Amino acid sequence: GNAVRAIGRLSSMAMISGLSGRKSSTGSPTSPLNAEKLESEEDVSQAFLEAVAEEKPHVKPYFSKTIRDLEVVEGSAARFDCKIEGYPDPEVVWFKDDQSIRESRHFQIDYDEDGNCSLIISDVCGDDDAKYTCKAVNSLGEATCTAELIVETMEEGEGEGEEEEE
């Protein structure tokens, strides 16, 4: 899907630059400028819209790679990765146990133009042991994938509550 998407982008960029070049040379000094300019600009934008519509069919979101369950030790970082397909480019929302996640120092969300999306949780604590869901939405629909983060805390088995400081 990426190659197709990249080619679609390139050809629509070429299309835009080709059009803008043509548009500026529209009014020749002898022609009634307004009538011709209006007509040609409409043709141009119509052609452009049709070209773009042909390039990219609208696709509802889906995950070509879903997030997986993670097991991490308290204090380390956890990272959920997925890949989202769909056009128009889906909006992404992450949830922790059905509560939407806001970006912070603790939760970092990355989403690049190829659809690679990740949630990075730094300095994981017992409180982060939860179910995480990534939801992708566009005008055609939505998709979700869910995984669990299991946090191993150090206290288990010691019983005295004395944690060793590093």
Helix (H/G/I), strand (E/B), else coil: 31: coil
Which pLDDT belongs to residue 154? 79
Which pLDDT belongs to residue 31? 46
Residues of the chain with pLDDT under 70: 1-55, 155-166
pLDDT in tens, 31-56: 445 555 555 666 666 666 665 555 67
For residue 86, which of 37, 13, 139 has the smallest C-alpha distance?
A: 139
Q: What are the residue boundaries of the structural domains of the chain, listed by start?
A: 2-56, 60-152
Which pLDDT belongs to residue 166? 52
Which pLDDT belongs to residue 21? 46
Can you tell me which residue has the tokens 């929302």? Answer: 93
CATH superfamily of the 60-152 domain: Immunoglobulins (2.60.40.10)
What is the spatial distance between Cα 33 and Cα 161, in angstroms, rounded to a whole number? 84
Which residues lie closer than 8 Å to 161 by C-beta, 6 or more apart? 155
pTM of the model: 0.62
What is the Cα Rg of the chain in Å?
25
Percent of the chain predicted with pLDDT > 90: 58
